[in-house]
Amino acid sequence: MNLTLAVSARTDVGAVRAVNEDAVLARDPVFVVADGMGGHARGDLASSAAVRVMAERLAEGAPVTPSDVLDAVAAANEAVRALSTADASGVAVAGTTLAGVVAVSGSDGGSRYWMIINIGDSRVYSWDGARLTQLSVDHSAVQELVDAGVISADEAGEHPERNVITRALGAADDVDVDVWMLPAGGEQTFLICSDGLSKELSDDRIAAILRENPHDERLAGVLADAAITAGGRDNVSAVVVSSWPESVEAERDTVERPEHQQYLEDTRPRS
C-alpha cells in the first residue's frame, strides 16, 4: 500500500536560549525530533548526530522494516555515545531524546504500518480532527511521580525536577526504546514535538491550533510560533505528518499482531 503524505517541520532556538539543541528529520519514511540534553555536554551535537544516523540508516523512499528502525536507533545511540568526552572532572555524557514515527512495511511487502518510537520526554501525538491523543509516554522524573499518584499532571509543570529525564540516547551502551505499531489506514495525522512546545502549550491549546489550521502546509511553524509567543523558554521543534492511502481499496482497519508482536511495548497511550 502506497501512502500520500503532507509534511511540515520547524525547529527554532526559542526566545531565551542562545543555542538550538533540537534537531528534526522529516522525510519519508522517517519523521523524528531529537532534543539535546541541555544539562549535559554537547547537546546540540548529540541531537544532530541522532537525526543524521537515522537519515543514513533509513534511506529516503526506501522500504523499511521494524528491525531496520531498531537497528537505526541502536546506531544513533552509538553515535551519541561517541561524543562523550573525558576531562579532569570525569566523563561528560552527551545525550538526546528521540521521538517520532516511521512508515514501515509488513512482511508481505504490501501492508504498511506506522512505527512510533520514543526515548525521553519529546512526544508523539495523534490527531483525528477532533481529539489530540498522546501516544508516547514521557520518560521523566515528574511522569513517574504522576504515575505513582504523588503529584498531579498540573503540578508536574511546576515541579523542580520537571526537566529531569530518565531515558536518553547516549546514556547507556544499550538503548531502551518504547515502540508501538499502528496500521496505516484512512487519514492519519501525527504531531512530533520537543518539550519546548509541550511545556509552553497545553494539549487543549495544541488541539485548538490543529483544528483551526487544517491541512496548513505551515502548521509546524504555526505551532512553534505559538509556543514562542507563550514564552519560548526552551528550543521549540515540531513535525506534523498526515497520511492517507492512495486508493480506498488499500486501506486496512486491522493489524495482524503476530508479525509485529516482538516490537510491542507493555506501555499504552494514555486517554
Identify whether the C-beta of residue 162 lies closer than 8 Å to the C-beta of residue 145: no
Cell of 130: 477532533
Say what the pTM is. Answer: 0.86
Percentage of the chain exceeding pLDDT 90: 65
How many residues appear in the chain?
A: 271
For residues 41-67, average pLDDT = 94
Identify whether the C-beta of residue 186 lies closer than 8 Å to the C-beta of residue 241: no
Judged against a pLDDT cut of 70, whether residue 252 lies above it is answered with no
Q: What φ, ψ does residue 167 adopt, rounded to 5°?
A: -140, 145
Can you give the pLDDT at residue 106?
80
Can you give the pLDDT at residue 156?
54
Which residues are 81's β-sheet partners? none
* H-helix segments, the chain: 43-57, 66-81, 141-147, 153-156, 195-198, 203-212, 219-229, 257-260
Q: pLDDT averaged over the chain? A: 85
Cell of 26: 522529516
Is the pLDDT higher at 109 or at 133?
133
Domains detected in the chain: 3-251 (3.60.40.10)
pLDDT bin (cut points 50, 70, 90) of residue 255 is very low
Which of 166, 175, 24, 170 lies closest to 101, judged by CA?
A: 24
How far is Cα 51 from Cα 30, in angstroms, rounded to an integer? 10
Highest mean pLDDT (candidates 234-238, 244-248, 261-265): 234-238
Q: Distances in Å between the alpha carbon of 2 and those of 30, 248, 253?
A: 15, 11, 15
How far is Cα 117 from Cα 100, in angstroms, rounded to an integer? 5
Identify whether the C-beta of residue 123 lies closer than 8 Å to the C-beta of residue 165: no
pLDDT in tens, 173-186: 999 999 999 999 89
